[in-house]
Amino acid sequence: MSDTSGALAADREFFKALTDGDSHALNRLLADDFVLIDVMRGAEVSKAALVGLVGSGQLKFESITPADARARRYGSTAIIIGRTEMRLRFEDASVTVKSRYTHVYVEAEGGWMMVSAQGTQISDL
């Protein structure tokens, strides 16, 4: 199996950038055409929108606890799936959400960049 350690390290950096509110790290980790499918509404969120919301503090990830991250590599592409429990605040609303996620990374310019992310909320039913 191909080495996925670099992609898994980039994934940990992504979560740290979110909890630190580090827009510079997010800008470096995300491809220019990055798209996130929002875990709460299923809406598309661009790189510029995510970096702006996190950098301004309008969207604050108070904690993210990732678990069960597994990676597969196909050439210069890595797909990571896992689970998270996140506590976040958007403007004045605070919520805790459990999700499963899929993150897609490409290896470019000596590092890994996230090109796509999707979160699916885990129901407590």
Number of domains in the chain: 1
The whole domain housing 36 covers 5-121
CATH of the domain at 22: 3.10.450.50
pTM attached to this predicted model:
0.93
Percent of the chain with pLDDT over 70: 98
Tens digit of each residue's pLDDT (9 = 90 or more) over 47-93: 999 999 999 999 999 999 999 999 999 999 999 999 999 999 988 88
Tens digit of each residue's pLDDT (9 = 90 or more) over 1-36: 479 999 999 999 999 999 999 999 999 999 999 999
R_g (Cα) of the chain, nearest Å: 14
Alpha helix ranges (H) inside the chain = 5-20, 23-29, 47-56
